[in-house]
Amino acid sequence: MYKFIEGGVTAPQGFTAQGICASIKPSNKTKRDLALIYCDVLCNASAVFTKNLVKSDAVKVTQKHLENGKAQAVIVNSGNANTCNADGEEKAEKMCEIASDVLGVNKSDVIVASTGVIGEILPIEPIIDGCRKMRGTLSKDGGTNAAEAIMTTDTVKKETAITMTLGGKEVTIGGIAKGSGMIHINMGTMLSFVTTDASISSEMLDCALKEAVEDSYNMVSVDGDTSTNDTLAVMASGKAENPEIVEKNEDYYTFVNSLTEAFKVLAKKLAKDGEGATKLLICSVNGAKSKQDAVKISKSVICSSLLKSAMFGADANWGRVLCAIGYSGADVDVKKVDVSFKSAKGLIDVCKNGAGVLFSEEKAKEILLEDEINIIIGLGDGNGKAEAYGCDLTYDYVKINGDYRT
């Protein structure tokens, strides 16, 4: 139903982008920290945001601009979150104004986002100068520069693109994301900008986004902290010229499925690149009484600091998995729980029916030394299943966050 391809946010028809170093932090002289994404037509658009009561003013401005379900451009900076500032909303609107001038779009059709340190005044002059420098430079190749420009403590760029067929037409979805720490996504510092050339109404795009986010981004946790700036925005140009999706028909569900898979790729990249992380943790739960119970358990496990520490040390301490299941709030019979650890080095059973089984510590260590670990939990209670994404907890996480601001 879908196929992954090379590319990112500029893969769909109609979209170009660019990212440059604007030196928003005076100490930054080389890293890209300002990005523009543009479509040559007005798009149907939707977004979901952080549920933290403390929100960046960029979030508030974008929420206002998307009330009509339309957008044509994105401006985003890293290095400063523009949060908890007296002039934050004024600065966010100014960013939209300069983007509208450079790109020739309406100010109200610009999505704005910021990421970085909270509580520091956003310097607007480097953003104005940087935007003007990008005039005329946006291109199909500029998407990867935009992906770099939104990074903060990220160590790698996060991009993906996927194609599917809707109504006999090839449709593409492309996206970029950033996030390494302060990630416990509950949308409903992670930023993601997704584009598509699908023809889909604003109402159906909004429905598709909210469905896709539940099994992807909302299943990620790095450190249990929900950012003040979380923004996931989607723009649809309609340039694929498929029959417009205006109801929940077969094409709609094909689109949702592809959107979900694209989000999952980016979600895993976020988790694997968690601050200081050395391993991606995937907790797969099956046999729960309900999907809700499976979600609670999978997220409880990947959020456990004790379990995350054990995975860093390649210690098959399965009791920490049972402990996290027990306090998850899920309706579960702990005497039916099975636990296994799996990686590229193989699979090992460590718990059956809520009790330990004999296993080779040497084999377990070999499995857990890999950089991607699947924690497989069977509950034997029903058909509910879920998958959550996290990372190990290392010394470097504390080092990074011990002096993040200074």
Give the three-class secondary structure for 366.
helix
Q: How far is the C-alpha of 92 from the C-alpha of 231, rounded, in Å? A: 14
Active site residue 195: no
Q: What is the DSSP letter of 25?
A: S
3-state secondary structure 210-272: HHHHHCCHHHEECCCCCCCCCEEEEEECCCCCCCCECCCCHHHHHHHHHHHHHHHHHHHHHHH
Please pick, among 62, 189, 231, 260, the residue that the annotation labels catalytic. Answer: 189
The residue type of 316 is A
Residue 251 neighbours by CB under 8 Å, 6+ apart: 166, 167, 242, 243, 245
Q: How far is the C-alpha of 340 from the C-alpha of 21, rounded, in Å? A: 46
Residue 217 neighbours by CB under 8 Å, 6+ apart: 185, 187, 190, 192, 232, 263, 266, 267, 270
Q: How far is the C-alpha of 75 from the C-alpha of 110, rounded, in Å? A: 7
Residues involved in catalysis: 189
